[in-house]
Amino acid sequence: MAFLDPFGDRFGRVLAAVAVLVVVAGIATAGAFAADPSAATPDPVAYDDTVELGLSSETDELMAGSARVPRVQVFYSQLQYVVGYNGIESFVASVDDGRTERQFGYPLVVHVETFDGGNPGVTDDGLFEAERSTDWIPANEATYVVGSTARTPAGETVVPFSERTNAEAFAAEHGGRVHDWAAVRNRSFDVDSAATVRSMAPERWTAADRRIADAEASAAEHTGEAVVVGRDAPTIDAAVAAAPPNATVVVPPGTYEETVTVNESVTIAGDGARVRGDGNGSVLTVRAPNVTVSGLTIDGVGNETRDPETARESADGDADEGWDTNVQLGYGHGDAGIRAIGAPGLLVDDVAVETNASGVLLREGSDAVIRDLRVDGSDDWRDGFMGVIGMESRVTITDGRFEGGRDGVYLHRADGSIVRNSTFVGNRYGTHLMYTGNALIADNRFRDAEFGGITVMTRPSGNAIVGNDVRDSGAGIQASGTRSYVGYNTLVDNRLGFSTSSRGSLYEHNVAVDNEVGAHATTVVPSSRVVANDFVGNDRHAEAGAGALRIWADDDRGNHWEGADVGLHDPGERAYRPTAPVDAALHHETAAAVVRESPGAVLLDRLHGTVPGARSGSIVDPSPAPGPYAPERVAAAREPDPAPIHPEWRLELAGDDSITVSTDTMNAHDRNATDETNRTDETNGTNVMEPRRSTERSRTSFGPERRR
Report how far residue 173's alpha carbon sits from residue 541's, in angstroms, rounded to the nearest whole number. 55
Helices (H), 175-225: 181-185, 194-220
Q: β-pairing, 292-299 with 267-276? A: parallel
Report how far residue 396's alpha carbon sits from residue 371's, in angstroms, rounded to the nearest whole number. 8
Between the alpha carbon of residue 618 and those of residues 74, 235, 252, 522, the distances in Å are 22, 66, 64, 11
Q: What share of the chain is helix, strand, coil (3-state, %, to 5)?
A: 25, 30, 45
Which segments of the chain have a pLDDT < 70?
Answer: 1-40, 55-65, 98, 190-192, 308-323, 567-569, 571-572, 590-616, 656-708
Report how far residue 366's alpha carbon sits from residue 341's, in angstroms, rounded to the nearest whole number. 6
Closest CA to 356 of 285, 300, 317: 300
Contact 491, 476 (CB under 8 A): yes
Q: What are residue 434's DSSP bridge partners? A: 412, 457
pLDDT value at position 376? 97
Between the alpha carbon of residue 24 and those of residues 19, 29, 650, the distances in Å are 9, 9, 47
Give the Cβ contact number of residue 639 at 10 Å: 9
pLDDT value at position 6? 32
pLDDT value at position 48? 85
> To 10 degrees, the CA torsion angle through 122, 125, 129, 131?
-110
Between the alpha carbon of residue 440 and those of residues 203, 206, 374, 408, 582, the distances in Å are 10, 11, 20, 16, 39
pLDDT value at position 80? 81
Q: What is the CA radius of gyration of the chain?
A: 27
Residue type, 254: G
Question: Would you put residue 166 in left (φ > 0), alpha (ψ -120 to 50) or beta?
Answer: alpha
170: exposed, middle or buried (Cβ count in 10 Å: 0-12, 13-18, 19+): buried
Helix (H) or strand (E) holding 631: helix 631-637
Residue type, 29: T
Burial code (b: 16+ CB inside 10 Å, e: under 16) for 24-55 equals ebbebeeeeeeeeeeeeeeebbebebbbbbbb
pLDDT value at position 332? 83
Helices (H), 474-617: 581-585, 592-596, 599-610, 612-615
Report how far residue 236's alpha carbon sits from residue 683's, in angstroms, rounded to the nearest whole number. 51
pTM: 0.82
Closest CA to 185 of 153, 139, 152: 139
Residue type, 340: A
